[in-house]
Chain A
């Protein structure tokens, strides 16, 4: 069965530290890739997405992600985190050929940024 794996369940960083959250998926076909974020008390919102083209995609709030097809990875990065980045981050995959829009989510990574 297709799955998405996020390597880190809980990350603690100090402000200004760099962030990289790992995401790998198990599916050999064409995929659409997403990173969603859930800030405390808020609903899930899209950080960035990859459908095709340049594998380095930029999202909101200074986040970016790189799609590496050979590694089945879509890691999320930010050069310098802020306290306001404290949230839970979800990697998600849509299988392009599946004739369904369903997203397969990773387990989520909770990021805590210390001021």
Chain B
């Protein structure tokens, strides 16, 4: 069974540019989550999809962040325009059951210069 995959693994962009991160969950997992870890801080929740619907987006920092999950399969997280404080590692996870074990992807390391 393939795990959660994320693309790209690294991204370096300049302030003001746009970046789109992609997450492919484990097949059949309705629940998809985005998290972020800023250097030196804890992993923080961004949002939770159930299929294509946003179940909880309470962790989204501001309206520069837009997450989508068209068709309830893969998800994208777009940052536009990127700011310096957006740098960090963005993790995606998926689960079969809400509240159950989450399987994490390798993360995307975003650096905003």
Residues of A within 8 A of B (CB): 4, 32, 34, 36, 42-46, 49, 90, 92, 94, 96, 99-108
Contact = CB atoms under 8 A, between A and B. Distances in A.
Interface string B99-112: 11111111100000
B59 interface: yes
Interface of B: 3-4, 31, 33, 35, 41-45, 48, 55-56, 58-59, 91, 93, 95, 98-107
Nearest to B55: A100
Contacts of A32: 99-100
Contacts, number: 63
B42 A100 contact: no
A101 B102 contact: yes
Contact of A34 (B59, B98, B101): B101
A104 B4 CA distance: 20
A101 B104 contact: no
A107 B56 contact: no
Of B91, B99, B106, most buried by chain A (CB within 10 Å of CB) is B99
Given A43-B107, A46-B101, A101 B59 contact: no
